[in-house]
Amino acid sequence: MSVTTRFAPAPTGLLHVGNIRTALHNWMLARQAGGRFLLRIDDTDAARSEERFVAALREDLAWLGLDWDGEERQSARLALYDAAFDRLRAAGRVYPCYETAQELDLRRKVLLGRGLPPIYDRAALALSDAERAAKEAEGMAPHWRFLLDRAAPIAWTDGIRGAQQFDPAQLSDPVIRRADGSWLYMLPSALDDIAMGVTDVLRGEDHVSNTATQLQMFTALGAEPPRFAHEALLVGKEGKLSKRLGSLSGAALREAGIEPEAVAALLARLGTALPVEPIAAREALVATFDLASFGRAPAHFDEDELARLNAAILHQLDFERVADRLPEGMGRAAWEAIRPNLAKVSEAADWWQVVTGPIEAPVLADEDRAYVAEAVRLLAWGPDPWHGLTEALKAATGRKGKALFRPLRLALTGRESGPDMAALLPLIGEAEARARLERAATT
């Protein structure tokens, strides 16, 4: 069977790293199998869905390199849902309910107070046709529930959690449609999975009970359900991630200078038995993706770990990957020289300023000024001017180690530390290097 996965965000906020992790894993599962990865915009909640969030999530996925093979919007599929609803209603698998939200909340509180699970009591099923008609004559529009079959346990083998079993008698019949006719998540999602040919659903463990009820929906609709796998949730320093944590959105990560390769390298393996490593090549991550490696404990997202990984990834990136974000005039040689000292691409501008100047001449001790003056005299430009200069100075002055290198670096860059001077000095150039040494010797 060809593998088809989907990512189905609701456009009610920005994607955070928890959502991004789900999208990444579904993309990897599909790509590893040579299958299809689909994007579905779950925008049935018209009051909360916004086009700016649709645009933002597309931008996030594109930035991460998670290309999708097809896209659907639930708001364009309402006729499909209506037709399925009518079939289920005719089959007796959906039924109208008239309780208000306040009434349902009171019933739940009473059951919890008695130490009982807050399961809907199916009171609406006991209403006669006349009673229903009377309620609707009073202006009470019903909401609709899917009638669970309680004859046998609901069981499946989860791709991560293993054998799962639910007693349907311990589940409430889920509300699938509101009184205003709008849809909740459960039925449209199952219908779309059928229509889109989804074979594998990989999502958070907070959906496990939803899967139990949706399995019965697939059966009621006469369809083979997809394979399900539920991964442990991603948690941050303050607990479960949510769309309210804007600092962890894709847009915020881009703004902070985080590379998409770093995000992928971290999230691909977070919560698995595989080590998190600075792997920039996406195909290497895909090749090692394995649901069997996923653990059951919550996966902890650490922004400091992402920052460290980002620096390690950055040190691998080729010039072409970053060229459009580098200062004007900064070429391949400069990138390769400066790259090992960067945590973010944006820091390249600071080091390019060191190369192009001007820099502030350092104030050196008297003996170091004399030493730098000797460097001016011995400077001879060649294929490797730095090593030529330091070897000549070592022979002439007897200096070595920090005493040999530090005054030269200060004079040439104004910094105590930085990129390899053997790579940096040719970028500065002979004339500018000589001028900087002369200023440092006389300041």
pLDDT (mean) for 64-72: 97
* CATH number of the domain encompassing residue 67: 3.40.50.620
Token pair of 418, please? 């930085």
Residue 60 has pLDDT above 80, yes or no: yes
pLDDT (mean) for 229-241: 81
Give the structural domain span for 341: 319-355
Domain check: are 129 and 62 in the same one? Answer: no
Mean pLDDT of the chain: 95
pLDDT band at residue 247, thresholds of 50, 70 and 90?
Answer: low
pLDDT (mean) for 386-402: 97
Domain check: are 58 and 142 in the same one? Answer: no
The proportion of the chain whose per-residue pLDDT surpasses 70, expressed as a percent, equals: 98
Beta bridge partners, 362, equal none
Q: Note if the bond before 358 is cis, omega within 30 degrees.
A: yes
- Residue 248: per-residue pLDDT: 83
Domain check: are 208 and 303 in the same one? Answer: yes
Total residue count of the chain as it appears in this document: 443
Domain check: are 289 and 256 in the same one? Answer: yes
pLDDT (mean) for 81-109: 96
Domain check: are 298 and 270 in the same one? Answer: yes
- Residue 243: per-residue pLDDT: 46
- Residue 235: per-residue pLDDT: 86
Does the residue 386 lie in any domain? yes
Give the distance from CA 61 to its chain's centroid: 9
Bigger pLDDT: 186 or 240? 186
Residue 133 has pLDDT above 80, yes or no: yes
Domain check: are 155 and 226 in the same one? Answer: no
The proportion of the chain whose per-residue pLDDT surpasses 90, expressed as a percent, equals: 95
Domain count within the chain: 4
Query: Which tens digit of pLDDT belongs to each residue from 303-358?
Result: 999 999 999 999 999 999 999 999 999 999 999 999 999 999 999 999 999 999 99
Residue 381 has a CB neighbour count (10 Å cut-off) of 15
Cα–Cα distance, 3 to 162 (Å, whole number): 20
pTM recorded for the entire structure: 0.91
- Residue 244: per-residue pLDDT: 45
* CATH number of the domain encompassing residue 167: 3.90.800.10
- Residue 245: per-residue pLDDT: 46
Strand locations in 114-209 (E): 143-146, 154-158, 162-166, 175-177, 200-204
pLDDT (mean) for 378-399: 96
Domain check: are 64 and 195 in the same one? Answer: yes
pLDDT band at residue 236, thresholds of 50, 70 and 90?
Answer: confident
Domain check: are 14 and 134 in the same one? Answer: no
Does the residue 63 lie in any domain? yes
Beta pairing class for 70-73 and 227-231: unpaired
pLDDT (mean) for 390-411: 97
Cα–Cα distance, 130 to 137 (Å, whole number): 10
